[in-house]
Structure 1
């Protein structure tokens, strides 16, 4: 059977169950494993010798937290990450993750003059990790992210998106022309979302934290991970199944 694609409601339900008394995971654990999977995906596709400079774009929610974890791991992998987060998350866990990056001497772009500083950073970036919006995103895209997404899209720099490309609808995909990023690589977390069925780039899954019991309960039909890998590449969905 083919892997199951998730609706927004089902993705939220699985997340809640993972962190319930039944699933017994903490948010810290899930972010650490998700961020590690994102870092491994980028490292697999973009070799650090050719693509050393990574701009990690973080939104204010849990997606941004995944990005901060990925930035720390990328630094330990030998890349040169820089963090861009124009609206830092207010949760204590977000602040701790950012402090961990600061302690790794990973620079953060100052929030002032957001678009100007973003444009300058992109001019010296080899690859972008897009961790801005997650599956709970609801349009419209508000400032400063609306202009920022346009700048990122026009930069020509390769993009790796986390879970769903920023600006896409979690179920409808890229439903508004000219809005939303067009990544080269996507790393879905837990299981892919309905909105990325038509994604044409390289598609990876990072969700090795999903238990067998939960996989069976939600009929996820997840692929096997090789050895100690935290990611597995997914085949494109055939056109007749879109």
Structure 2
């Protein structure tokens, strides 16, 4: 966890990498929007997003790729960056909903972006019911960085609403997190902006990306790169 926080801080340090937080949202989110099975836009156009910053940006990318995202964002942040991201979606006419269960009935894919990898503690309202719905639905669910309610180190919880929640796919951003060893579905890595010196400093073994690809698929057992 300390390594992940160090990488994040170093990427945003003006004297080091000079990335802005908004650019760090955009690059991984672009990778999320390229992740199968969401490529089948004609057959599978409706996406319901439960939202973090990455989820907001990914929803915008999906709209531009001719998907029809709906955003569930019950606790809207007062942070200026998040407000700007939400405004961008509203300007595109992307609908926001407070009725998660109702929206779930009309969607064909869910992007789980409720919590980031720094989540810890109890799942608070209104999210326990949402996570239970994600666990029980037969609709494909893709989680960003960490399935919501999972511990970054120890993976799925042994109790609570997230017990037994295993999404269809996982998209790790920057690098796979320790919890990935507990995940056995399709696993993708997105966000190809880690510089060689950071990879060397933190001993990150990152796979190569093909051409202009924004994602690579990883073997859930070995963590090694698979060909898409």
Length-normalised TM-score, structure 1 = 0.87
Instruction: For 2:152 and 2:118, locate their aligned partners in 1 and report how far apart those are by CA, in whole Å.
Output: 8
**Which residue of the partner structure matches residue 226 of structure 2?**
none
Correspondences of 1:85-164 after superposition (within 5 Å): 85-110=73-98, 117-164=99-146
Q: Which has the higher relative contact order, 1 or 2, with Cα contacts under 8 A spaced 6 or more apart?
A: 1
How far off its partner does 1:178 sit?
Answer: 5.6
Are the counterparts in 2 of residues 161 and 187 from structure 1 also a CA contact under 8 Å?
yes
**Which residue of the partner structure matches residue 11 of structure 1?**
4
How far off its partner does 1:198 sit?
Answer: 2.0
Instruction: For 1:53 and 1:129, locate their aligned partners in 2 and report how far apart those are by CA, in whole Å.
Output: 11
Structure 1 segments (4+ residues) deviating >3 Å: none
CA RMSD in angstroms, aligned pairs only? 1.4
5+ residue gaps in structure 1? 1-7, 59-63, 111-116
Instruction: For 1:226 and 1:184, locate their aligned partners in 2 and report how far apart those are by CA, in whole Å.
Output: 24
SS at match of 2:70: strand
Length-normalised TM-score, structure 2 = 0.92
How far off its partner does 1:39 sit?
Answer: 1.0
Q: Does 1:69 align with 2:53?
A: no
Q: Does 1:200 align with 2:192?
A: no
Aligned residues: 219
5+ residue gaps in structure 2? 224-228
Of the three residues 125, 150, 153, the one matched with 1:171 is: 153
Are the counterparts in 2 of residues 198 and 237 from structure 1 also a CA contact under 8 Å?
no
